[in-house]
Structure 1
Amino acid sequence: MARPQCDSTHAPFEVLLQQLLQLHTQRCRCRRRRRFVLLGVFVLLLLLFITLLQIFMPARPGPDTYWQQEFIGSVNNASIRNHVFCLTKEPHVAGTPEDFATAEYVFQRFQDYGLSAHYTDYDVLLSYPLHRSLILSAPTKEPLVLSLKEKPVEGDVYSSNPKVMPTFHGFSPSGNVSAEVVYANYGRLEDFQKLENLGINVKDAIVIARYGLIYRGDIVENAALAGAVAVVIYSDPQDYAANYTQGVYPYGRWLPPSGTQRGSVYKGLGDPLTPGWPSTPDAERISLTDPETMLPTIPSLPISAEDALPILASLSGPTSPAEWHGALDLPQYRVGRGPGALNFSFSANQTVTQIRNVIATIKGAEEPDRYIILGNHRDAWVFGAVDPHSGTASLLEVAQRLGELVVKGWQPRRSIVLCSWDAEEYGVVGSTEWVGQNIDLLGINAVAYLNLDACVIGPGFSAGVSPQLDGLLQEVTKQVKDPDSVDDTVFEAWIASGKGSAPLIGRLGGGLTDFAAFLQHAGVPALDLEFGDDNPMYHSVYDNFNWVEKFGDPLFHCHVAVTRLLGLLAMRLSSDAVLPLDYITYATELQSYAMQVQTQLAQCKAPSVSVNPLISAISSMKEAAIQIKQQAKQPQGSLSPSAVLRRRFVNDRLLQAERAFLDDKGLTGIGQSWYRHLVYGPVRENVYGTYGTTTFPGIQTALAQALAESNEHDNDAKRRQWAAVQHEIWRVARVVERSALVLQGSLT
């Protein structure tokens, strides 16, 4: 069949159809091009908008910064003020019903803030006054019965509270003696040596000394070593009342003439009857007469400047050295002996008494077995508005505000433990017993201990810090506004208060408050915060709410600042993926200490004593510190099991490095093996003459003893003393080398 042929009449229509199709295609292409152009313009405008937002809008903080800012903004001075007011309504010496009432107050607040809280009780030796009498007699005058009372002052209801316990020294033994009086300045060893040089015999005398430069327990011990039978200690207006030139309370911030400083004269830490083990109800207890209790052997009493004046006026003998003169209304200070004499009578009730710590916890989400510990003591000799409740109020405010953050969704990586200690005033008892009972867990898990005590006395920030915490503290002080500046941060005001471009950072080790057991015995890095300097109302009836509101911190802004600092430190230590502990700073500081020892040895021309072992060990530690800091900088965001384990390994070494500075034999040179830290610690005043912290205390004690022997003619004794100095250098070198190995993290 033939194939059909196309009709030629359709050709014009096909051409028209093709033209229409071409036109439609061109229009579609134009529309697509317009869409692409419009889309491109939109994308460019969007990018421009985002760029402008980044330039002109503040960046949204990261999660950690956000929570820190939330905490800073939440701290409330009215809340803190209320805590101070409530806690200081009544006197509350440790072991009394009023003291247990403060424990209940703290416990209830912890629970109110959503924290898990509990009590930990101990049975410890405490002492209370039963009878006190001091009668001054002089050849030409009638006997004078001294007041031994602090006088009520105008407008201060606290100073007339009938529940105030009479002034006394904690753990002073009872005694009744009559003897002539000798004035011994601050009661230092050098002061008693000066009396001996003046030909003044202290044996069987009653010593009068003034508070100020050394611990009151050292004054009593030094007097006992010199042969005295009793001691009275007073607060000279030169040291506590600005020479009576600026007004005394209630018209000024300074101690009134009748103000009296109470305090313990116990030389140890913790319960005297359970040295080295916790004082649980069924614990072993040694005899009260056992020398290991470290209790004083002669009685003592604190007295006021008002009562000291007639005593010192009754003395004759040589005029005291010019530097011994205080600001009492006397033409001159004479040392005695006599002719003024005192009839001294004191009796005390020394009894085993229950005390109560209050412990609360914010559990960590990822590492609940790691502890950031915050602490402050709660007992007071009277009302304790500054010492300790400026710290208690701040601790409670931190608890409340962190509890609120938890409700809002914040979770610390590690656990935060908040501790309210009891019986600190008697000898750091509550915290020492708790550390002793928990020493093994703390050794494994405690990251740091952050302490508050009398943390607000007035303006001006200061801190005592373990060196690896220096950097963290400086970072945190840059986040908090200084309470006494318009624009400055705490960090800026801190620098301005000193000299140079870096803040003046103190060190810990004197063992005078609750950080002692953590740092000195357990090897936990520690920190202690404070605003203000010397407290003129220290341990007197005038350390009360009225004084704080009039003179200490009227608007409670310093309380707010220290609370913010404490909370931020706790948040960083509990939440940073890698612990913010810098051991390069530590090693650098140890290098400067070693150079000081080397200079001391050169100055005294020590025979055959070398500091080289210590310098070499510190060099190893610094290398290891640099190495671990580099490891800590590696990316930490990964949640893989291997990454988490690597981070934990770094943190374990940072946590344990401080423990390596402990030696089980302790500071044997001062007879106190309880103090195990060989880098920072107290030095026995009888040997070296310091009140606070000394670096390399074992070396310094041995060096002081060697210098004391340098004038002796026994060459064998001299050689033994210098050999002891070398031994102490080796001991410190060994613990520093151990710390280096911990940071290094590999077996030899």
Structure 2
Amino acid sequence: MLDSSSSLPLNPPDYIFEIEEDHENVGFFNKAQFKKLANNFNTRLIKIIDPIYEGYKYLQLQYEKSILKLGNPLVIKRLLYVFFMVFIIFLISKYSNNDSISGTSIGGFVKGKFYDIDKLSDSIKYIIDPKMMKENLEYFSSVPHITGTKGDLTLAKYIETYMKNNGINNIELNEYQTFTNYPSKNTYLKLKDGSWNAKLYESHNENMEFLSYNPNSLNTNEPIQGEYVYINYGTEEDFGKTDVKDKIVLLNYGGNIPESNKVFFAKQHEAKAVIFISPKFKHNEDVIQKENVGLTRVSLGDILTPGWSSEDGYVTRLNWDFSETTPKIPTLPISYKDGQYLISQADKGVELELKIANTNRQAKHIWNVVGSIEGREQNEKGIIIGAARDSSCYGTMSSNTGNVAFLELIKIFTSLQRKFQWSPSRSIYFASFDATEYNLAGSSEWIESRRELLEKEGYLYIDLSDLVSGESLEVNANPLLNEIVTKHLKKLKLNGRSLYDMADIKNEFSSSKNYLPFINLVNMPSLEIKFRGEYPQNSCYDDFMNFENSKIDDKMTKHSLLVELIAKIILEFAEYPLIPYNYNDFTNKLIEYEQNLENYYKSLNSDINLDFKKLKQKIWFMKEQGNKYENWKASWEDYLRKSGGIEHTSYSMARWRWNDNMVEFNSKFLTKGILVKRFGYRNILFGLPFNSPLQDDKFVWNSFPYIRNRLQLRQFEDAQLEINNLVHVLEQAAINLLL
């Protein structure tokens, strides 16, 4: 098995440098002896071959006479050749020794065309190497890899080499140019009277990666001075309770809204700047958390090219003030310890002085590494497995736990190729995304540069960010995926409990992860599975030592289990002849979401009556269409069972068309219009309103976002227009789903 360590030996063996030369002696014979021996051998060989040759000439003469009696010799010979080749192919297919994954299982292609998914799946757990994952985790955590730095490029090259060494031939290292900023020692925060200074670095280390800053933050031209006020988590309600005009706002990280939205609200209320207080990790009060403040809920990607790709170095870039995605007031994070001190002094009328002098790069190089295993049947369609590579420092739990699983998945599927001479029915893409910490720039720019292609070809995205950071098993899944995800959750156990019993399964997708652009830009059904916990996120304390000391996964048991689970899900979605969406699960969830939408509308106590009747009707119409598909699928499966796995051409053509329709179905929910200048949000079925909470047990915010956004703003007439538009789209999508 090949892995990243395979390379030329340090001291290459002599045969590498051997060169053929014309020596006087050949082995134990000199030239004269060798020539005599050769002549004797030729004489004897002729005596043996001559009778055989005469017999061959006689048989050939009889063969030619027979051909002449049958007709045109040229035509007859060609027919006999075709018959002979068909016979040979039949023997090869019938008696091939590669029968370990062939059979009559309906799970996959058989007899040279269909593969047994269950037998392939059973091999996966034997390929997983926990020790190698631990070594990779330690290696990835040994070097800081902030976006666009040498450490980031080093890991990109490592992943590229790993792909090559494991047999992936289709590899691209995509380079983009996006805005990035880096911290500076010239940044400071102090009391105006000089009696106190914030410690703007971690671990008594003033190297760049330990310094305090917010990715995509605004610098100060001159020092900012003024009173400050503490307003808890910075919700709209918090801002409404306190006058922050011309003041510096002190607030906590966390809560239920994104940090960038807090900055947006602070600007709306005319605050001068925002100071974020980091949470303490266990008993450590010196953690400084570095969070993106680019306005993710408006546009995803490079903050100076909102809505279009920055792949071309000559692309138009907006001025900071004209971009809807840039923060318009400065921000700076501080430690919990310094934050508590400032809170204790807040009522004493003291003033702060703040200067932010980050190093800005308007068009810094970033790198995505993408490799693929080409599908054998519908290779234009594909699954994408994505992992965030960059981090704000060492990134052990934030990005590296996902990266080691990413590498292990590459090894699994290339090993299956070598072991079974197998390739998936549809393609599998492995994407290492850069600049995740900068408003998801790597994944967003990659999608923006090939958006139309992904709409037509991509049908599943799996995100591997912060894969293992605790004990709580969380699953986010598009309802189309629930059947397969649930099936495999039930098959695997941890400490005697099935993963299904442990899992909290939702369709939330609210965090700032690389699934956001896949959902909101191209409506690609997405999946996230992880063991979640509290850890020093986006801090240099998120390192390998803390991972080891916390005993989160010292034997890499959780990593191995999730890799096995995700690999089996990938295998089923890549190999099963029909893309295994479940439209009954999908429409049942839409029925729930529609009722939840009505409940949210009622909670607003509006005097305007909205009509949801047609929306309900079209969801039920889609359910009926989905049932027709399920009936066809059942008849196809029954036919294959009775035929021993031999698929008639008419069924093959119909199946390919179903797969085309299923991918096209997702693209129907992408609007060409733009909602309130939210360039990164085109999905009218799933996605997030601008001001929706990160978590909510009452309302399903990740559904019908355009309608919910209007309701949030109490624009009820516009909300009805959005309902009517969705009704029309649902009807057309349901009609076009069927053949």
Fold shared, TM-score > 0.5 on shorter chain: yes
User: Relative to 1, partners in 2 of residues 1:346 and 1:83: Cα closer, same or farther, differing over 3 Å?
Assistant: same
- The correspondence for 2:497, drawn from 488, 507, 510, is 488
**Aligned twin of 1:208:** 250
Work out which of the residue numbers 315, 334, 340 in structure 2 matches 1:284. Answer: 315
1:576 corresponds to 2:628: no
Deviations 1:122-153 (A, max 9, x none): 11111112321011247xxx62011112225x
> What is the SS of the residue equivalent to 1:516?
helix
Is structure 2 residue 203 aligned with structure 1 residue 151? Answer: yes
Shift of 1:733: 1.9
Question: What SS class does the counterpart of residue 554 from structure 1 fall into?
Answer: coil
Of 414, 418, 427, which residue of structure 1 is paired with 2:430?
418
TM-score scaled by length of structure 1: 0.78
Q: How does 1:386-401 map to 2 (within 5 A)?
A: 386-401=397-412
> Following TM superposition, by how much is the alpha carbon of 1:731 offset from its aligned partner in structure 2, in angstroms?
2.3
In 1, the alpha carbon distance for the partners of 2:436 and 2:545 equals 23
Opposite residue 369 of structure 1, the aligned amino acid is E
Give the aligned length.
605
Task: Report which of the two structures shows the higher radius of gyration computed on alpha carbons.
Answer: 1
Unpaired segments ≥5 residues, structure 2: 1-104, 108-114
Following superposition, the deviation at residue 689 of structure 1 comes to 4.8
Offset at residue 286 of structure 1 (A) = 2.5
**726, 733, 738: which one aligns with 1:739:** 733
- The answer on whether the counterparts of 2:304 and 2:325 sit within 8 Å (CA) in structure 1 is no
Is the contact made by 1:371 and 1:447 (CA closer than 8 Å) also made in structure 2? yes
Give the secondary structure class of the aligned counterpart of 1:379. Answer: coil
Equivalent residue, structure 2, for 1:519: 519
Match of 1:730 in 2: 724
Say whether the 8 Å CA contact 1:614–1:732 is kept in structure 2: yes
Q: How many Å separate the matches in 1 of 2:145 and 2:690?
A: 31
Asked if structure 1 preserves the Cα contact closer than 8 Å seen for 2:517 and 2:680, the reply is: no
1:182-197 matched pairs, under 5 angstroms:
182-195=229-242
Q: How does 1:14-25 map to 2 (within 5 A)?
A: none
For 1:202, the aligned partner's letter is V
Q: Deviations over 1:285-334 (max 9, x none)?
A: 22323523520111010111111122111112xxxxxxxxxxxxxxxxxx
How far apart in 2 are the matches of 1:529 and 1:597?
26
State the shift of 1:599 in Å.
2.9
Question: SS at the partner of 2:728?
Answer: helix
Alignment of 1:345-384 (within 5 A): 345-351=355-361, 352-384=363-395
Query: How far did residue 558 of structure 1 move?
Result: 1.0
Of 456, 467, 487, 2:468 maps to 456
Match of 1:133 in 2: 188
Look up the match of 1:251: none
Which digits, 9 at most, give the CA deviation of each residue in 1:173-218, with x for residues without a partner? 11120111101110111101122xxxxx311100000011221111
Pick from 698, 701, 706 the counterpart of residue 698 of structure 1: 706
Report if aligned partners of 1:257, 1:305 keep a CA contact under 8 Å in 2.
yes
> Which is further off, 272-281 or 307-316?
272-281
Q: Determine if the alignment matches structure 1 residue 408 to structure 2 residue 416.
A: no
1:232 aligns with 2:240: no
Paired letter, 1:144: W
Q: Is the 8 A contact 2:477 2:505 kept in 1?
A: yes
Deviations 1:235-275 (A, max 9, x none): 244xxx4xxxxx53xxxxxxx10001102100031112222
Aligned: 1:680 with 2:686 = yes
State yes or no: 1:171 paired with 2:216: yes
Which one is further off, 95-104 or 220-229? 220-229
Report the secondary structure of 2:209's partner residue: coil
Say whether residues 1:266 and 2:308 are aligned partners: no
State the partner residue of 2:127.
74
Whole-angstrom CA distance in 1 between matches of 2:597 and 2:478: 20
For residue 478 of structure 1, report the CA deviation from its aligned partner.
Answer: 2.2
Superposed CA offset, 1:667-695 (max 9, x none): x1x4304311112212222xx55568532
Per the alignment, residue 332 of structure 1 pairs with none
Q: Is the 8 A contact 2:307 2:679 kept in 1?
A: no
Q: Which residue of the partner structure matches residue 86 of structure 2? A: none
Query: Considering only aligned residues, what root-mean-square deviation do their CA atoms show, in Å?
Result: 2.1
Give the C-alpha shift of residue 436 in structure 1.
1.1
Distance in 2 separating the partners of 1:236 and 1:450: 29
**Cα deviation digits, residues 339-367 of structure 1 (max 9, x gap):** 12211011122211111000111111222
Q: Is the 8 A contact 1:614 1:729 kept in 2?
A: yes
Counterpart residue number, 1:537: 536
Structure 1 unaligned blocks of 5 or more = 1-58, 153-159, 196-200, 242-246, 249-255, 317-337, 495-503, 707-720
* CA distances 1:478-517 after superposition (whole Å, capped 9, x unpaired): 23232xx1x22312333xxxxxxxxx32214436111122
Instruction: Provide the C-alpha distance between the structure 1 equivalents of 2:525 and 2:569, rounded to a whole number of angstroms.
Output: 13
Query: CA separation in 1, counterparts of 2:711 and 2:567?
Result: 41
Match of 2:548 in 1: 549
Q: 1:179 to 1:390 in 2, by over 3 A?
A: same
SS at match of 1:315: helix
Aligned partner letter, 1:270: G
SS in structure 1 of the partner of residue 736 of structure 2: helix
Aligned with 2:561: secondary structure?
A: helix
Match of 2:442 among 405, 410, 430: 430
The answer to whether the 8 Å contact 2:382/2:458 transfers is: yes
1:655 CA drift (Å): 2.1
Q: Compute the TM-score of the two structures, normalised by the length of structure 2.
A: 0.79
Which amino acid is 2:611 matched to? S
Identity over aligned residues, as a percent? 24
The farther-off stretch of 213-222 and 426-435 is 213-222
Deviation at 1:649, TM superposition (A): 1.4
